[in-house]
Amino acid sequence: MELTTVWFCLIAVLWIGYFTLEGFDFGVGMLLPILAHDEVERRVLINTIGPVWDGNEVWLLVAGGATFAAFPEWYATLFSGFYLPLLLILLALIVRGVAFEYRAKGHGVAWRGRWDIAIIVGSWVPAVLWGVAFADIVHGVPIAADGEYVGGFFNLLHPYALLGGLTTALLFLTHGAVFVSLKTDGPIRHEARALAARLGILAAGVTVAFLLWTQLDSGDLASGLLFVGAAVALVAGLVAVGAAREGWAFCGTFVAIALGVAGLFVALFPDVMPTTLADGASLTTTNAAATAYTLKIMTVVAAVFTPLVLLYQSWSYWVFRRRITVEHIPADHAPATAR
């Protein structure tokens, strides 16, 4: 297998890790005004992702860095053509991260309320825009013969791309609700499980529509099999939700997102950014790649450090595996005026 193909697969794995892990982070933030009815419950929800959200974002940083190093032409065209949506995602992630850190620095209702809004908005914006961006990448965008993006912002907002944004938002909402039911106990757990069942039905319908459209537009046998697997995993997760088996339900939504993203990359290959112009030129794993020497060095570095990162992140999830309840929230985090 050529190193260009190896690195395309590795970048796909990084994005799979990001969407499956950061996906439930986004879901929890998006559900904050729905599942949390007072300050104590808001703190419970935030604490479910408190130890892991920043580690989950590392997958995005590594995916971006790997794309820059392995496929510089892809990186350059992507960040020039998708400048505005990627800037909005970046700003949302920054605001969201600051909100997690600063929310507990004050005790006033107004103070915490403003940071709660930042968490909610900072979760919704990337949850939607990542779906729009990936749908555009798979479908194709206007790329000229010299590899430059020649479209505008509104070229990215066609029906297929908007359906992609709706798909990721609903999947992350369902994934987040399942995660909350897995990580909490008491009334929040039961409410999150009931909400996951309702959201999951809607998410399943929209996801099947998006994956079917993708398959008809640019899929092949391999991507079709992955899309079917994603749909089966999502349905199995919803069945587990109904049976109050939160662990299996989380595995179902996790695998559904993973197989769905994998299918998108398979449908995209060997392109990395196809063009929609008759006289344009698509970027492929060959013409967008770095030099062979660069890819060799990167492969050695990845082989050494990737297992270490995976071991550390697995250990952190194991350490913070227990459920959280309102009884675990100290009194100073729940002032009476916040109710």
Residue 110 or 212, more confident: 212
Task: Assess if residue 3 is contained within a domain.
Answer: no
Q: How confident is the model at residue 119 (pLDDT cuts 50, 70, 90)?
A: very high
* Per-residue pLDDT, 339: 33
The Cα–Cα gap between 16 and 22 comes to: 10
182-210 burial by CB neighbour count: b if 16+ within 10 A, else e? bbbbeebbebbbebbbebbeebbebbbeb
Judged against a pLDDT cut of 70, whether residue 125 lies above it is answered with yes
Q: How confident is the model at residue 285 (pLDDT cuts 50, 70, 90)?
A: very high
The Cα–Cα gap between 196 and 179 comes to: 9
Task: Assess if residue 56 is contained within a domain.
Answer: yes
Task: Assess if residue 9 is contained within a domain.
Answer: no
Residue 329 is given by DSSP the state S
Task: Assess if residue 10 is contained within a domain.
Answer: no
Task: Assess if residue 192 is contained within a domain.
Answer: yes
Q: pLDDT for 194-246, tens place per residue? A: 999 999 999 999 999 999 999 998 889 999 999 999 999 999 999 999 999 99
* Per-residue pLDDT, 338: 37
Task: Assess if residue 62 is contained within a domain.
Answer: yes
Task: Assess if residue 331 is contained within a domain.
Answer: yes
List helix spans (H) across the chain.
3-30, 32-35, 39-49, 53-70, 72-81, 83-102, 109-139, 159-183, 187-218, 221-242, 246-268, 292-319
Domain that holds residue 36: 16-338
How many structural domains is the chain composed of? 1
- Smallest Cα–Cα separation from 283: which of 74, 7, 63, 5? 74
Task: Assess if residue 2 is contained within a domain.
Answer: no
248-269 burial by CB neighbour count: b if 16+ within 10 A, else e? bbbbbbbbbbbbbbbbbbbbbb
Least-confidence region, from 49-58, 205-214, 319-328: 319-328
